[in-house]
């Protein structure tokens, strides 16, 4: 089973917090000069969206590695049993 990390270690949480703060700042017109809400969304949300899209691929690779490790362990166990017999 996967260990859960604390909430403050989550990139998704911080992406949401920063995006929300910038949205509020834009709504009350306190963003620094030259910074638009579109710029903030691009910089903050694009990596978050990319992370979500590629997370599935990374999880699939991890499952494949775990399956190969289990197979190797089974082969070693069977190989050891043959030599003892």
* Dihedral sign of CA atoms 53, 43, 41, 23 in order: positive
**34 exposed, middle or buried (CB, 10 Å; 0-12, 13-18, 19+)?**
exposed
pLDDT at position 34 is 84
Residue with tokens 């260990």: 3
| Sequence spans of domains, the chain | 38-85
In this predicted model, what pLDDT tens digit does every residue of 53-68 receive, in sequence order?
776 666 677 788 888 8
CA distance 38 to 26: 10
In this predicted model, what pLDDT tens digit does every residue of 21-36 receive, in sequence order?
887 888 888 888 888 8
**Position with higher pLDDT, 26 vs 82:** 26
CA distance 22 to 18: 6
Residue 19 in contact with residue 41, Cβ under 8 Å? yes
User: 85: pLDDT confidence band, cut at 50, 70 and 90?
Assistant: low
**Position with higher pLDDT, 71 vs 59:** 71
pLDDT at position 61 is 77
Question: Which residues lie closer than 8 Å to 12 by C-beta, 6 or more apart?
Answer: 48, 51, 52
pLDDT at position 2 is 62
């Amino acid at each position: 089973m996967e260990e859960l990390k604390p909430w403050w270690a989550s990139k998704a949480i911080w992406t949401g917090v920063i995006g929300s703060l910038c949205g509020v700042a834009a709504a009350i017109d306190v963003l620094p000069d030259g910074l638009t809400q579109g710029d903030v969304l691009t910089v903050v949300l694009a990596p978050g969206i990319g992370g979500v899209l590629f997370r599935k691929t990374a999880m699939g690779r991890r499952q494949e590695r775990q399956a190969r490790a289990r197979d190797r362990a089974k082969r070693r166990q069977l190989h050891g049993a043959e030599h003892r017999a």
